[in-house]
Amino acid sequence: MSRIDRRGFLQVLGGAAASAGLAPFNSAWALEARAAIPARPVIVVDAGHGGIDPGTIGRTGTYEKDVVLSTALELAHQLEAGKRFKVYMSRTDDTFVPLGERVARARAHDADLFLSVHADALPEAHLRGASVFTLSEKASDKEAAALAERENNSDRIAGINFGTQDPEVNEILFDLTRRQTNNQSIRLAQQLVVELGHRVKLLNHTHRSAAFVVLKAPDIPSALVEIGCLSNLQEERALREASYQRTIATTLARSVNDYFDVTAKG
């Protein structure tokens, strides 16, 4: 079986056994599903934008691509220092990486988790705070749809169109896998909201969903964090500071650890 077949199938069966109220040990499938979480999970940290794509531009000219890269580098550094995970980044410098390529790289690394780091811009300059997104074809609100549209524009900016390569799997299995992944992504988002909420300001609608291309790996739990609003002067200033980036990175690293603590308990 290909990776998506096998792992997805095991996870789905494990999940089905759990929701049917079966004790995990009654099911060899569930045992295998639990074993599917490797001893050293692979985390892909994705710094949004890069190269010719600056992302959003702050009130005083701060580029999203720069602040998210330094924050993502710090996050990768902290995760590596914990020695619990294998960590990869979709970019480590100011280069352009198409959205489809980011997902393809995560899958090539056999990622167990994909975390995309972005910064927001809102029409209302007084609004500030972080927020977390998971994938949904139907956006949770109008602003979420507009944001996904903006973030998805990256590939059009570069004139590159990466089509998704549909894996050759049974359609039903694929749907089940995707549903399971979506549940895990929501759990990740909840951990992110909790940890961010302890340390930084959050937007009112903290966890939202929209059709972000970069969250579309059907078999990798994924979330996108907007670490703050570059459209707010105060937050733009904070986002440029190494100490604030470190605080954000620490909360994101904690969320990843929380997620695997909960997952390991099954």
Binding site for Zn ion (CB under 5 A): 48, 55, 118, 151
Residue whose CB is less far from Zn ion, 57 or 262: 57
Residues 71, 77, 79, 85, Cα dihedral to 10°: 130
- The string of DSSP letters for 185-241 reads HHHHHHHHHHHHHHHS-EEEEEEEEE--GGG--TTS-EEEEEEEETTSHHHHHHHHS
Residue whose CB is less far from Zn ion, 151 or 236: 151
Residue whose CB is less far from Zn ion, 33 or 47: 47
Q: Read off the DSSP letter of residue 117.
A: E
Least distance to Zn ion, CB of residue 225, Å: 10
Residue whose CB is less far from Zn ion, 8 or 50: 50
Segment holding 202, helix H or strand E: strand 202-210
Least distance to Zn ion, CB of residue 55, Å: 4
Least distance to Zn ion, CB of residue 129, Å: 16
Segment holding 119, helix H or strand E: strand 113-120
Q: Per the structure block, which two tokens stand in for 234?
A: 């105060």
Least distance to Zn ion, CB of residue 64, Å: 5
Least distance to Zn ion, CB of residue 120, Å: 8
Residue whose CB is less far from Zn ion, 7 or 118: 118
Least distance to Zn ion, CB of residue 48, Å: 4
Residue whose CB is less far from Zn ion, 151 or 219: 151
Identify the CA nearest to 50 among candidates 73, 24, 23, 20. 73
Give the C-alpha distances (Å, rounded to integers) separating 107 from 85, 97, 209, 230, 253. Answer: 16, 15, 22, 31, 21
Q: Per the structure block, which two tokens stand in for 122?
A: 């809102």
Q: Per the structure block, which two tokens stand in for 169?
A: 């799997």
